[in-house]
Each structure stands twice: as C-alpha cells, then as structure tokens.
Structure 1
Amino acid sequence: MNILLVMTGGALGAMFRYGIGLYFMKRIPHPPIPMAMLVVNVIGSTGLGLFLGKYFSNYEPTVLYEAPIFLFVGLGFFGAFTTFSTFSIETILLLREGKLRKAVLYMFLTMLLSISFFSLAVLLTAG
C-alpha cells in the first residue's frame, strides 16, 4: 500500500511539474537562467513546508515514513514535483556553455529561495 501511495503522489507531482515547466518555458522562452525549474523548485519547497508545518510540525523521519499522507503528499507528490536532477543538468549546461555567472546565480537563487521559502512556510503553519 505504501508503494502505491508514493507512486500515485509521484505521478501527480511529475505531471504538475511538467505542466508548470511548460507554462513558464512558453511564457519566457529565452530566460537568462532556467526560470521554469527555479519556479517549480521554489513552489515545491514552499508547498512541502506548508504541508509539513501544518500536519507534522514536530516531525521525525521515522514517523514521516509511517504516515500515509506523508508518503502520498510529501514523498510522492512533492518528491516528484521538485527536481534536483533537472537543476543539476541545467547548471552543468550553463557551465558547459561558459556561463559561469549565470550558473552561479541559478545555483544561489535555487538554494536560497527554496530553503528560505520552505523554512518560512513551516514557520507560518507550525502549530
């Protein structure tokens, strides 16, 4: 049952990531940095922070992996929605193209904004 929860949440998260990524790529076809995945990762980090703060404000890893709602939403949906692998690919592509400043900016913004928005969301919703 747990695998089904993760799988179903992951399928939904991946579809949402794909849709939002396409939306931003069509709206901003030649961004200075990969905006689509930056936005997806910040939205996903914020969503996961809101979810954890609301339902698991004093969470422990072992408790999370036993909770069906976390398996579906946290691990499945947000795990597939956010994408460190695409972030890695896009960073390497910028570096290969000799765009060191853009690569560093992309890395900095992705990490700073994702962690900041996650933390802020947890703080705002933690009971």
Structure 2
Amino acid sequence: MSQAALILILTVGGGSGALCRYLLGLAVMKKFPTPRIPIAMIIVNIIGSFGLGILYGNVYTETLYNDALFVFLGLGFFGAFTTFSTFSVEAVQLIMDNKYQHALIYLSLSIFGSIIGFLLGYFIS
C-alpha cells in the first residue's frame, strides 16, 4: 500500500475517532453535568485503551505501521479517540484548584484504568 493511501486512511480514522470522542464526551457530560472528577475523559480513555488492546491482540505483526487496519483503527481512530493532552489539562486544573484528592483519584483511574482496559482487551482477543 502506498504511503499516500496510508496517510489518507490515518486521516479518516483520526477524524472518526475525534468525532466519537467529542460525541461520547457530550453524552457523558449530559448524564453527569457536574462531576467531581472529569469522568468523560476517564470513560473515553478506558474504552479506547480496551479497543486498542483488542485490535493489538488480533493484528499484531512486525509491520503494524504498514497495515491499513492498524493505521486506521490503532493509530487513527483510537489515537484520536483517546486523549492524553485533555487528561493532562484536567489533571493540572484539579491540582491548580487545590483539589488534590480529586486529582489523585482522576490520575489513578485514568492511568490504571487505561492500562487494565488495554490488557483486558488484549487478553480477550
């Protein structure tokens, strides 16, 4: 597959992932409008890590970055669906607001939840 085709596949996957992250975030925020911790990003990152674990467990090869499915879903969709930058902003905001306990809960749930989500996805695949 050509490099141009992989870039197009990556772009479509990334756009789809970003849109799904946004829509899921809106749905979670509608259900929980004033959470103590940023629950929407925790949910997004755990679901995304779980999905990536399933994908990785099913398509792992030495040439992942040339595999169209992995480029679309792994790098594109799940890369844009999950968000380390928003996680960082929300963690820092909790700390700046002196909500240290909430920050610790948010950091712990986000990091360990995402790793556990990935491992669960990987092992069930």
- Whether 2:49 is the aligned partner of 1:45: answer yes
Listed as ranges, the gaps of 5+ residues in structure 1 are none
Q: TM-score, normalised by structure 2?
A: 0.94
State the AA in 2 paired with 1:19.
L
Aligned to 2:87: 87
Shift in Å, 1:121: 1.0
Aligned to 2:9: 5
Instruction: Give matches, 1:20-99, under 5 Å.
Output: 20-56=24-60, 59-60=61-62, 63-99=63-99
> Does the residue aligned with 1:98 lie in a helix, a strand or coil?
coil
Q: TM-score, normalised by structure 1?
A: 0.92
Q: For 1:70 and 1:102, locate their aligned partners in 2 and report how far apart those are by CA, in whole Å.
A: 35
Shift in Å, 1:51: 1.1
Listed as ranges, the gaps of 5+ residues in structure 2 are none
Q: Percent identity?
A: 47
Shift in Å, 1:68: 1.0
